[in-house]
Amino acid sequence: MQENTNENMEANYRKFIQRIVETESVWGLTHDETWATSSSAEYEDAEVILFWSNADGAKACAEDDWSEYKPESITLVEFLENWCVGMYGDQLLLGPDWDASLVGREMEPLVVALDVVQELKHKGKTIEFTQYDSQDEFEEQVIEALEGEGEDE
């Protein structure tokens, strides 16, 4: 069995970003409108909402406490606009492509959003946002929010 080293976790994260940009969809586990979350292993009192780049990854984690949860997909735009931005506001972390033993990276949602936008640009893709005028405007606002984190406004 492969160890989950930082290097492997980084490689898995890069694959997550590439896959969701390629398919323009993101997967979660839901049950009665509730999304699967986990307590953070890194931060006390922090919650992590889990997302996967495909249904199989989500389905592999649908056991024990989540045995009644089912994989559900959302669009990449919904993931960026509603989830990443909303989770940032709620101070939640994002768990991309955790494995069946519930091990994976815990990420700031806006960092993930910025990585997605940069991958879109790298692939020459543009997606249609509903709450922002353009992909560029979304990227600018994410960068501003990330830069402003250390400042008192």
Summarize pLDDT for 102-138 with one digit per residue, the tens.
889 999 999 999 999 999 999 999 999 999 999 999 9
2: pLDDT confidence band, cut at 50, 70 and 90? very low
Comparing C-alpha atoms, which of 57, 41, 52 is closest to residue 112?
52
CA distance 127 to 87: 21
How confident is the model over 86-106, as a mean pLDDT?
A: 94
User: What confidence tens digit (pLDDT) does each residue in 56-78 have?
Assistant: 999 999 999 899 999 999 999 99
How confident is the model over 43-68, as a mean pLDDT?
A: 94
* pLDDT above 90 for 8: no
Write down the mean pLDDT value for the chain: 93
Q: Which residue has the tokens 């979350």?
A: 37
Secondary element (H or E) of residue 112: helix 109-123
DSSP state of 65: G
DSSP state of 5: -
Dihedral of alpha carbons 70, 74, 80, 85, sign: negative
* pLDDT above 60 for 153: no
DSSP state of 70: E
